[in-house]
Amino acid sequence: MNHGLVPKPEAVVSVFDHGFLYGDGIYETMRAYEGVLFMLDNHLSRLFRSASMIRLSIPKDRDQIKSALYDTLKANSLRNAFVRLTVSRGRGPIGLDPDLCSEPTFIIITEQMKDYPRSYYQHGIRTIIAETRRNSKEAINPQIKSLNFLNNILAKIEAKERDAYESLMLNTNGHLTEGTISNVFLYKDRVLCTPSLSCGILDGITRGVVLDLAVKEGLHVKEGEFSKEDIYMAHEVFITNSTTEVMPVSTVDEVQFPVGEVTKLLHRAYQEEVRAYVSRTKGEGPSVWGYE
């Protein structure tokens, strides 16, 4: 936290922190495999992009952040972990003016990664199309991975009320965007489809890896605009993010889907990509095995 390691009971933030008061800040969620943070440089690039877009100066450079991340993993004796990096505007008087805050608050949280139930991958998860629409990209740019999450929380509440794991959200034009914490893919008519960035989505790191893997596997890929009817008519549906990897969807509203071969193929390919990345990084880059 800020300039050093802090025990969990002492990791507290001021009630005057603008991240708490206004959601003024950014974050990244990462996953560590065998002591290696997967796609770390990509996550840091997105973190600095988000910071630039909200005119926030991060108080550490890339190498300092990498050191802090791995120091926190080591301090908690973690090799397979969930990692969250948060930077808020910092503490300041009440008011929206960013200049009221003299120094950002910098926080890294690491926790043991708990595997998702195997049944999720064997049988898929239930999802719904939420009534809550995704924030317009003209109102708040989705390329900013910000602490403003009330839009997603409202959609998550809908999912819980309907006994679903995840909500998929439409934009104000009725086009599919993303889940509350995930990107969404559908396989239809031999084409792997996913909403384009122009629909108002975050460019998920896992989404990008899966798109690259799909091309390598010879799949026809399409990024574009899709309606909820398109997803209802799909042959397979799955969601992606850094912790779930590639998770099959069994139900969207009342429409059911099998855990299909394309979903299984891409999940296997993703795990192989992780293993290759971890092997390379242990030998040449930062990890709990040695930071250079």
Which of these, 72, 86, 60, lies nearest to 5 by C-alpha position?
72
Given this model, what pLDDT does residue 286 score?
77
CATH architecture of 118-277: Alpha-Beta Barrel (3.20)
- How is the chain split into domains, by residue range? 8-112, 118-277
Amino acid at site 80: N
DSSP the chain: -TTS---GGG----TTBHHHHH--EEEEEEEEETTEETTHHHHHHHHHHHHHHTT---SS-HHHHHHHHHHHHHHTT-SSEEEEEEEE--B-SSSS-GGG-SS-EEEEEEEEPPPPPHHHHHH-EEEEE-SSPPPPTTTS-TTS-BS--HHHHHHHHHHHHTT-SEEEEE-TTS-EEEESS-EEEEEETTEEEEE-GGGT----HHHHHHHHHHHHTT-EEEEE---HHHHHT-SEEEEEETTTEEEEEEEETTEE----HHHHHHHHHHHHHHHHHHHHHHHHS-BTTB--
Dihedral of CA 162/166/172/176: which sign? negative
- Is CATH 3.30.470.10 correct for 8-112? yes
Give the pLDDT score at 114.
Answer: 93
Q: Which residue has the tokens 């090799």?
A: 79
pLDDT score, position 284: 80
Inter-helix orientation angle 205-216/40-53, to 10° = 130
Per-block average pLDDT, block size 10, for the chain (292 residues)?
94 96 97 96 98 96 96 95 98 96 97 95 98 95 95 98 98 97 97 97 97 98 97 98 97 97 98 96 77 50
Predicted local distance difference test score (pLDDT) of residue 285 = 74
User: Dihedral sign, CA of 144, 146, 150, 154?
Assistant: positive
pTM here? 0.94
Q: What CA–CA distances, in Å, run from 81 to 76, 110, 251? A: 10, 6, 29
How far is it, in rounded angstroms, from Cα 46 to Cα 172?
25
What local confidence, expressed as pLDDT, does residue 287 receive? 77
Residue 249 CA to chain centroid, in angstroms?
Answer: 17
Place of tokens 């794991």: 165
